[in-house]
Amino acid sequence: MKIEKLEIRNFGKMQNRTLEFSDGIQLISGENESGKSTVHTFIRSMLFGMTRGRGRAAKNDVYSRYEPWENPAYYAGEMVLESGGKRFRLTRNFGRQNANAKLVCLTDGEVLSVEDGDLSMLLGGVSEIVYDNTASIGQLKGRTEEGLADELRNYMANYQGSSDGELDVAAALDLLKQKRKRLEQEQKKTLAGLEKRKEELETKISVFTEECRQSEENLQQAKEQMKRDIYQKDVTIERVRKMKKESRKSRKWGAACVALAGFLLFLCILQFFHIDSLLTRTGLGLAIAALLYLAYSLFRHRKTEVEQVVTEPEEQAIRRQQWNVDRLKQELGQKQTVLSNLQSEYEELCIFMTEKDHLQEELDALSLAGETIQSLSVQMQSRIGDRLKQQMSKTLSSLTNGRYLQVNMDENLRIGLHTADEYVPLEQVSRGTIEQAYFALRMAAMDVLCGEEELPVILDESFAFYDENRLKETLKWLAENRTQVLLFTCQKREEEALSEMGIPYRKIVL
C-alpha cells in the first residue's frame, strides 16, 4: 500500500494543505513546530480513525490536541492511496457531531464501506496496534542504554509471544475466563431457580396427590350411598306394590262394610219408625253412624298410607346423590389433570437438569477454546519467534555490514547478539547498536506480521542517535527493501547522506 496524496483540510494548526508522495524515500523536512508530528498523526488518524478519551483523559488525548481552534466542526481531511493495483480516495470528518468516513475506488468508481471492513482489507488486515509497533517508528527519546535494552527486550518478548505485537493470548484467555465466570454465575442462578421450581412442583404434586386420594374416597362413598338409595328405592317400590295390592283388598272389604252398613241402615230405618222409645232410637242412630264412619275411615287410611309411601323422598335423595357423584367425578378429573401436568413438568425438569444444558455446552466450549488457544499459542510463538529472529538477524546483519550475524533471546528474555567470534549480551553493546537492533526488530515484525500488504514506513526523527555510518547503512537498507518511506526530520544529515550515496528521494518542506 502506498500513499499518493494527503489533503489536510483542517487538522491541528494545518488548513488546506496538500502533500503529494511517490515511491521511494520521501524526505519531509521542517523546523520544530513546523507540523511534522501533525502530518504523522494525520496519516495515522486517516488510516485508523481517532478514538476520544473519557473523563479527564479526554483533555490531553490525541483528538483534543489536534482539534482545530478555528471551525472545529470541520475537523477533516482526505487521503489518496494505492493498494492492489487500484487507487482509492479516503475521506474523514473527525467532528464531534458529524464524524464519518467515506472510501471510494477511483479506478472503477465503486463505493466502499469503512465500517464494513473494506479499508482494513486494503491495509491487509493490519491493526492499529501492529501499525504502531512496526511501520510507524518514532525516536526512543533520551533513554539510557539500560533503559533502551529493557525497551527492546519487552518489544521482542511481545512480538515473539503473539501475532500483533502485544500479549493477545493472555488477553484472549482473560476474556474467556471472564466470560466463563459470567456463565458460571448465570448457570448457578439458573440451577437455583430450577431447584426452587422442582421443590415447588414436589410440594404441589404431594398436595394434589392427597387431594385426588381424598376425592376418590369421597366419590366412592357417594357411589355407595347412591347404591343404598337405589336399593331403598327398590324396597320402597316393592312395598308400594304390596300395599297397592292390599289396598285393593281393603277397598273390597271396605265396600262390603259399606254395603253391610247400608243394609243395616236400611233395616234400622225400617225399625226406627217402629221404635217408640226416644233413647232406643238415638242409640240405634249412633250405632249406624259409627258403623258408617268406621267403614269410611278404614278405606281412607289405606288410601293415605299408599299415598304416603309413594311420595317418600327416595327419588329426590337419589337425584341429589347422583348430582353429588357427578360433581365429585368432575372435581377428581380436574385434579387429576392438574396432577398429570405437574408430573409431566416435573419429569421434563428432572431430565433437563440431568442432561447437559446450553450453558454447560457454552462452558465446555469456552474450556475447549482456552485449551486450543494455549496449544496454538505455543505453536504460534515458536513459529513467529523463529521467523522473527531469523528476519531480525538478517536485517541487523545488513545494517551492521555483517558484524552481528544473529539475534537470540533465551527463556529468561535475555537478548544477545552473535558475531562471527562471540556472543555479546545486549547490555554490553553501544546505544547505536541497540537502536539498530530496535529498528531491525520493527522491520522484521513488519515483514512477519504485514506480509499481505506492505505499509509505508514512517520514521519520525528516528535516527537522532545514529552516527553517520549507521545512518547511511539504514537509509541504504530502506531504499533497497521498502517501497515507500516517509522520513520526517529537522536536520540536514539524512538529505546529505542520501545525496552522497546517490539514493533518489523526494523532498517536501513543511
134 and 165 in contact (C-beta within 8 Å)?
yes
18 and 479 in contact (C-beta within 8 Å)?
no
Length of the chain: 510
Give residue 250's pLDDT: 59
Give residue 144's pLDDT: 42
235 within some domain: no
Give residue 334's pLDDT: 85
20 and 13 in contact (C-beta within 8 Å)?
no
Give residue 273's pLDDT: 57
71 within some domain: yes
Closest alpha carbon to 101 in 109, 113, 111 = 113
Instruction: Map grid coordinates 499481505 to a residue.
Output: 452
Give residue 480's pLDDT: 94
Strand partners, 409: 415
Looking at residue 439, its amino acid is F
Give residue 301's pLDDT: 57
Q: Which range of residues forms the domain containing residue 84?
A: 2-125+452-509
Closest alpha carbon to 470 in 435, 499, 502 = 435
pTM equals 0.59
240 within some domain: no
195 within some domain: no
Closest alpha carbon to 488 in 476, 505, 468, 472 = 505
Per-residue pLDDT of the chain (510 residues; tens, 9 = 90+): 999 999 999 999 899 999 999 999 999 999 888 889 999 999 999 999 988 877 676 777 889 899 998 888 899 999 999 998 999 999 999 988 888 999 999 999 999 999 999 999 999 888 888 788 788 886 554 344 455 455 555 655 565 554 444 445 666 667 777 877 877 777 777 777 778 888 888 888 888 888 888 888 888 887 888 788 777 777 777 777 777 677 666 556 556 656 666 666 666 665 655 655 666 656 666 666 666 666 556 555 555 554 454 445 667 777 777 887 788 788 888 888 888 888 888 888 777 776 556 666 666 776 776 666 666 555 555 566 677 788 889 999 999 989 999 988 766 657 789 998 899 988 888 888 888 888 888 888 888 777 677 899 999 988 887 899 999 999 999 999 999 999 999 999 999 999 999 999 999 999
- What is the CB-side half-sphere exposure of residue 455 using CA atoms within 13 A? 31
135 within some domain: no
20 within some domain: yes
236 and 305 in contact (C-beta within 8 Å)?
no
165 within some domain: no
275 within some domain: no
Give residue 94's pLDDT: 93
Give residue 143's pLDDT: 43
* CA distance from start to end of the chain: 24
Give residue 469's pLDDT: 92
Read off the CATH number of the domain in which 70 is found.
Answer: 3.40.50.300
67 and 75 in contact (C-beta within 8 Å)?
yes
Number of domains in the chain: 1
Give residue 145's pLDDT: 44
- Alpha helices for 400-466 (secondary structure H): 431-449
Q: Is 142 left (phi over 0), alpha (psi -120 to 50) or beta?
A: left
Q: Please state the separation of Cα 459 from the chain's center in Å.
A: 44
